């Protein structure tokens, strides 16, 4: 079963009322450092990324900075982050492309973003949403789980969930929807032990194994 548009509107309104200032927890100082942090956050917590980048971004915060650093130095700076070898290579290469092709600016369209090394659909959507204020929905593990669990979607892949969310959610909530659903999944609708007794959408949610 899936929620209809009226129920979906009610669900997202309740989340909007209960979650104040829904936004990314990644710390950044400009569009490039946001892109960098999102690339680093793959299979890594935002807290860990913030701990690593808080000192880096004081000195290095442009594509030219990272292109000049080179892969070895980038590796050294991010070595406590998972998959740091691959991420360092991607950050170096995407920085070079931004310098050479985009005048050191982060492109504000999906196709250009996903052609950058280390940037997939989720990363591109996060950057477009947070940096360029576009109504995109990035589907991570939290958004995928909560959307399917509540009945907002019935998708077998992140792409299907994204497509279904864009269809069922009201336009005025699309800008916030990713963060509302993500934060609800991170703190309430957890993977193993969802806190259903304190859930503001408990009565709308279609999850059959509610923890009540």
Active-site residue, from 27, 140, 175, 209: 140
Among this protein's residues, is 134 annotated catalytic?
Answer: no
How many residues belong to the chain? 212
Among this protein's residues, is 140 annotated catalytic?
Answer: yes
Which H helix or E strand runs over 20?
none
Active-site residue, from 101, 122, 134, 203: 122
Q: How far is CA 26 from CA 72, 89, 152, 200, in A?
A: 24, 21, 26, 25
- Euclidean distance between CA atoms 93 and 12, whole angstroms: 39
Report the chain's C-alpha Rg in angstroms. Answer: 18
Burial class of residue 173, CB neighbours in 10 A (0-12, 13-18, 19+): middle
- Euclidean distance between CA atoms 156 and 59, whole angstroms: 42
- Euclidean distance between CA atoms 192 and 188, whole angstroms: 11
Catalytic residues: 122, 140
């Amino acid at each position: 079963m899936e929620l209809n548009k009226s129920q979906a509107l009610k669900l997202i309104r309740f989340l909007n009322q209960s979650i104040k200032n829904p936004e990314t927890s990644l710390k950044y100082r400009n569009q490039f450092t946001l892109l960098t942090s999102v690339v680093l956050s793959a299979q890594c917590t935002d807290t860990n990324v913030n701990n690593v980048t808080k000192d880096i971004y004081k000195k290095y915060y442009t594509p030219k900075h990272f292109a000049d650093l080179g892969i070895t130095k980038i590796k050294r700076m991010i070595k406590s982050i998972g998959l740091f070898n691959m991420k360092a290579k991607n950050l170096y290469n995407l920085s070079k492309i931004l310098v050479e092709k985009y005048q050191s600016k982060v492109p504000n369209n999906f196709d250009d973003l996903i052609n950058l090394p280390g940037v997939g659909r989720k990363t591109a959507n996060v950057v477009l949403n947070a940096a360029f204020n576009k109504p995109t929905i990035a589907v991570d593990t939290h958004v995928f789980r909560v959307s399917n669990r509540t009945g907002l979607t019935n998708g077998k892949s992140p792409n299907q969930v994204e497509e279904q969310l864009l269809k069922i959610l009201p336009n005025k909530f699309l800008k916030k929807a990713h963060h509302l659903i993500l934060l609800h999944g991170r703190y309430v609708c957890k993977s193993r032990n969802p806190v259903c007794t304190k859930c503001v959408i408990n009565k709308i949610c279609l999850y059959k194994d509610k923890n009540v």
